[in-house]
Every structure is written in C-alpha cells, then in structure tokens.
Amino acid sequence: LRRYNLITIKTKEEIEYMKKAGDIVYKTHMYLKDFIKPGITTKELNDLADDFIINKCKSYPSFKGLYGFPGTICISVNEEVVHGIPSARKLKEGDLVKLDIGASYKGYHGDSAYTYPVGKITEEEEMLLRETKKALFKGIEQVKPGNRIGDISNAIEEHAKKYNLGVVEELCGHGVGTKVHEDPNVLNYGNKNEGPILKEGMVIAIEPMLNLGTKKIYMLDDDWTIITADRKKSAHFEHTVAVTKDGYEILTGDWR
C-alpha cells in the first residue's frame, strides 16, 4: 500500500482489452477443467494450457517466464498454496488442484485462479473451497468508487475468521494492467477505511488464499512453491475486477 500514487486509471478502451484478456483466461479455465482427473500430470495440464492460450487464443500466457517462472500457468496441489511448478506429479482422487492462469490481449493482462476438486473430497475440504470462493465475492462486493482497498481486505478476513480458516498474509492481490502485477497491493486482511481509495477505471485482482490450518507458509527449495507450514490444505480463488462508475465489473468470466 506504500506506493499507491502509482495506481493507473484505465480508459474504456483499455478496459475492453482487459476484458478480452480476461475472457481468454476464463476460456482456458473452462477448457482445462474437463482434463482434471486422477492420473493426469500437472505438466500435462500446463502443456494443454500453453497450446490453448498460444495456438487457439493467439494470446500469450502472462506467467510464462514471468520473473523466471518455469511454467505456463501455476499449478498448486493440496498444501501447496500458490506458485506450484508444473511437473510429473500425477493428480489423484481427493486432491485439491489450484490453477492460476494469466493471459494478455494487446499488452493488457487478465489473472484468475480457481481451486478444483479431483474426484471426491471431504466435507471439510468442500467447506474450504466454498468459503474461500465466498470470501472472494465478499471482497468483490466492496468494489465501488469511494470505498478503500482496506474495505476489500477486511471483508475477506472477516469471512475467513467465521470459518476459522487461516489467511495467508505474505501474498496478496494487486493492480493489473500492462503489467500483471501493479499497484496497489490488495491484502486479504486489514481494516476498513484504510488504504487507497477506489476510483472508476482502476483494475485489481482480488485473490484470497485460505488454509484449513495455520496461516503460516513456507517456500520450498525450488524457490517458487509456497506451502502451508502445517501441510494442511489450502484454497485460492481470484478474479480480475474493474472499478466502474457505480460498482464493479468482473473481467475474468462469470463463474461464482
């Protein structure tokens, strides 16, 4: 929140580009979800995404090579929170798999994550998915001109608390534009009435990462994968959202 004077305001035309980028991200999610079954490797999912975004959508995957990331999309399983590297790991019944996908259109990005169950999961895990998604929408509902980033953060945190879910604090949402990660930071915890004021034309990614256990996380030796400290499962849902004249518009598809 320290450099919020660098928040960019997008024109209507720029937001149209971002909607196209967001639509590619959404379509990629819809395409991949049918392949999420026991036995498929995360690398196979990654390569399907790569082919779909580049060859089918004539776009470019925003995370491919970003800061040196060695994959096309981030695929994180179970206790992996985010930034999982696609590998030979095979998905199995009962896994939770998080796909975090970015794509661009005319240089503008869209960014959206979704947590998919692999086959049958436990009731507690279903609660984790349902309430993390709900927390995302509690945050999104705070998006309108005049509200502050802290209103989003607080709504997410309050919802997570109700269900005793750990809120990851070291990672957060962000502005989106010609760079995937722009100002401001959109934390998943905080106080109402604090932080930058939302204005029409801002575009932000809101992305709660909630855990069944502790909020504490570690980074694996691969220098990418973030895991929960107690190895309990984690969920992640994310939309890219534009601030409109009187509220918000979700740019990355209409899933709820």
Enter the tokens of residue 243: 């601030």
Structure tokens at 216: 């504490």
Residue 235 engages Mg ion in binding (rule: CB under 5 A): no
Sign of the CA dihedral 234, 35, 134, 204? Answer: positive
Q: What share of the chain is helix, strand, coil (3-state, %, to 5)?
A: 30, 25, 45
Closest-CA residue to 239 (of 123, 156, 145): 156
CB 7 within 8 A of CB 183: yes
Whichever of 21 and 119 has its CB closer to Mg ion, that residue is: 21
Report the residue from 14, 23, 100, 131 that binds Mg ion according to the rule CB under 5 A: 100
Q: Is 113 in the site for Mg ion (CB under 5 A)?
A: yes
Shortest distance, position 172 Cβ to Mg ion, whole Å: 9
Supply 226's token pair.
């973030």
Under rule CB under 5 A, residue 183 binds Mg ion? no
Closer of 113 and 235 to Mg ion (Cβ): 113
Q: Verify binding: residue 23, Mg ion, rule CB under 5 A.
A: no
241 bridge partner residues = 204, 250
Residue numbers 184-203 binding Mg ion by CB under 5 A: none
Strand 217-219: give its sheet, edge to edge. 80-82, 226-228, 217-219
In angstroms, the CA 220 to CA 232 distance is 15
Dmax (CA) of the chain: 48
- Nearest-approach distance from CB 39 to Mg ion, in angstroms: 26
Residues in region 152-171 near Mg ion by CB under 5 A: none
Q: How long is the chain?
A: 256
**What three-state secondary structure class fits 40?**
coil
Window contacting Mg ion (CB under 5 A); options: 4-12, 134-142, 164-172, 230-238: 230-238
From the list 53-61, 109-117, 139-147, 158-166, the region that binds Mg ion by CB under 5 A is 109-117
**CA–CA distances in Å: residue 37 to residues 34, 41, 62, 137, 220:** 8, 9, 25, 27, 25
- Supply the minimum distance, in Å, between the C-beta of residue 225 and Mg ion: 15
Does the protein bind Mg ion through residue 205 (CB under 5 A)? yes
Give the residue with the Cβ less far from Mg ion, 90 or 171.
Answer: 171
Total residues interacting with Mg ion, rule: CB under 5 A: 5
Of 95 and 182, which has the nearer Cβ to Mg ion? 182
CB of 61 to Mg ion, least distance (A): 12
Which of 14, 23, 95, 111 touches Mg ion by CB under 5 A? 111
Nearest distance from C-beta of residue 123 to Mg ion, angstroms: 27
Provide the binding-site residues for Mg ion, judged by CB under 5 A: 100, 111, 113, 205, 238
